[in-house]
Structure 1
Amino acid sequence: MNGSSAFGDIDPEALSLRASSFGGQAAAYARERPGYPDAAVRWSLEPVSGPARPRVLDLGAGTGKLTESLLRLGADVVAVEPDPAMLAQLHTGLPSVRAMRGSAEEIPLPDASVEAVLVGQAMHWFDLDRALPEIRRVLAPGGVLAGLWNLDDDRISWVRGLKEVARSTVSFRQWHPGTGPLEGRGFRVVERAEFAHGQRRTAESMAATIATHSHALTLPEAERTELLARVLGYLRSTPETADGEFELPIVTVAVRALTG
């Protein structure tokens, strides 16, 4: 992976390894990862909303978490995903959706074929120097690009403790996906918004979710097992999470940009 990304301070080889780590856990990803709140998806599509169904590309679609939200809101969706295992899971879960293999850097769609490109939990993996011209190519005039990220709300003390135990490097307090990477790259308006979100979890399902995160997937097996055991121990001994189900507080950050 070359060029610029939102994780510019990570070694490119490590970034590439983490970006390609999800396919081996595609079923777990589909089962454990949260979806996206309708309000965030609706805000992302607002510039192209109207009487007609918007044509939307879900880019880096994974197992279809964002695709599900787009379908629920009535969009005409095509999904593009580079990992064959993740794409197979999307086909299984959403068999009626047009989905194909491709990447942000080489999108298998014609010029000006969609009104919106939405990216769920994936834009930070893109080589933006190559991806943004491709995204602009497939967008119709006046189209919108939007990235969405689900971030555990570690402004809350027990969530902060969980992230420390899990050795997660993505912190809502420290890493707010901003508008900078999109500004001055062929987009005339760039905006950012936040939406409250949440997911019902147990200690076991929360550990299973963390097991699908790239920093855990790329650990040696013994270290990964040790990390997940620590996570379970923390959750079972913390008052907010020790007694059956609990709500994981999430902030969904959305950044949208309009073509010039």
Structure 2
Amino acid sequence: MESEDLFSKRAASFGATAADYHRHRPGYPAGAIEWALGDRDRVLDLAAGTGKLTEGLLDLGAEVTAVEPDPLMRAEFTRRFPDVPMRDGTAESIPLRDASVEAVLVGQAYHWFDPATALPEITRVLRPGGVLGVFWNHDDDSVPWVSGLLEVTQTSVGAGRSRPGRVPEHRDLKPPEQVQVHHAQRRTVDSMLGTLLTHSHISQASEQERETVLARALSYLKSHSETADGEFDRPLITTVVRAVRR
């Protein structure tokens, strides 16, 4: 189990590479967003980062307000989505009025929250009948070459084999439901290495270890027929958990 200091360091690490984060991280399938959102329109993108989830929400015509604690991530978000309101805040202290949104959606960030404090805040800003929707993009490690890449890119900070987290039950939320949506991200060897660098278990490793891991990943990708030349599909799964406000 990682230390509290390391956990906090990893949680705060993404702003330093905000533009690369947006360029290289995958988005979320429209079907996954629609399943979480239903016919609700007024949405809080909580821990919005650079707006990977907001991008999909805007495509569906949602009215989005974003909250993000990292100033560098906020700046990148605002550069990309200047018309979307962005506020400084955290899941544990949401700068919105009570019952002010129909949905709180969280992309790739819930595992950094303190649920004991965050869930009461989330339910506070949700209207009755509103929904909490939590999204995780993760590699489909049932594909052999993907599983192998995850193995060779482990570091002393942690493994890249991420798993969806769990949303605890809360008295103000109905029992959570879950779906998984399979999709893919088009990559090249170079852009796959760029993606790896946006993951905190690599970005927060020492410079020497980071260079070693990236060299190992380059060799691995170049040695497999699925990834060696040109573009390839990186198989992904989006796991979505939703819970309706009582």
1:258 equivalent to 2:240? Answer: no
Assess if the C-alpha contact under 8 Å between 2:32 and 2:181 holds in 1: yes
Asked whether the equivalents of residues 183 and 235 of structure 2 are also in contact (C-alpha less than 8 Å), the reply is: yes
Matched, 1:183 2:169: yes
Q: What amino acid does structure 1 have at the position aligned with 2:119?
A: L
Structure 2: segments with no counterpart, 5+ residues: none
Matched, 1:171 2:161: yes
Q: Deviations over 1:119-161 (max 9, x none)?
A: 0000000011111111011101111001001001011100000
Q: After superposition, what is the alpha-carbon deviation per residue over 1:187-246, rounded to whole angstroms, capped at 9, x for unaligned?
A: 113100000111000011001100000101111112111111111111011111001110
Q: Give the deviation of 1:185 after TM superposition.
A: 4.3
For residues 61-88 of structure 1, what are the alpha-carbon distances to aligned partners after superposition, in whole Å with 9 as ceiling and x for unaligned?
0000000000000100001100000110
Which of these residues, 127, 139, 144, is aligned with residue 152 of structure 1?
Answer: 139
Q: 1:199 aligns with which of 185, 197, 212?
A: 185
Within-5 A mapping of 1:73-152: 73-152=60-139
CA distance in 1, matches of 2:190, 2:50: 21
**Secondary structure, counterpart of 1:91 in structure 2:** helix
Q: Is the 8 A contact 1:111 1:138 kept in 2?
A: yes
Query: Residue 228 of structure 1 aligns with which residue?
Result: 214
Cα 1:176–1:230 shift into 2, 3 Å: same
**Which TM-score applies when normalising by structure 2?**
0.95
User: Are 1:182 and 1:257, in contact at CA under 8 Å, matched by a contact in 2?
Assistant: no
Q: d(CA) in 1 for partners of 2:170 and 2:66?
A: 27
- Aligned letter for 1:254? V
Q: Call closer, same or farther: CA 1:222–1:171 in 2, change over 3 Å.
A: closer
Pick one of 19, 24, 27 that aligns with 1:32. 24
Partners of 2:115 and 2:175 lie apart in 1 by 17
Aligned to 2:230: 244
Which letter does structure 1 place at the counterpart of 2:87?
A: M
Aligned-residue CA RMSD in angstroms? 1.3
User: In 2 relative to 1, CA 170–225 (structure 1 residues): closer, same or farther, beyond 3 Å?
Assistant: closer
Deviations 1:36-91 (A, max 9, x none): 00000000002xx16xxx10000000000000000000100001100000110000
DSSP 3-state at the match of 1:205 = helix
Aligned counterpart, 1:217:
203
> TM-score w.r.t. structure 1 length?
0.90
Structure 1: runs of 5+ lacking an equivalent: 1-8
State the alpha-carbon separation in 2 of the partners of residues 10 and 93 from structure 1. 34
- Equivalent residue for 1:4? none
Q: Which residue of structure 2 aligns with residue 3 of structure 1? A: none
Which residue identity is paired with 1:68? E
- Flag as ranges the 4+ runs of structure 1 deviating above 4 A: none
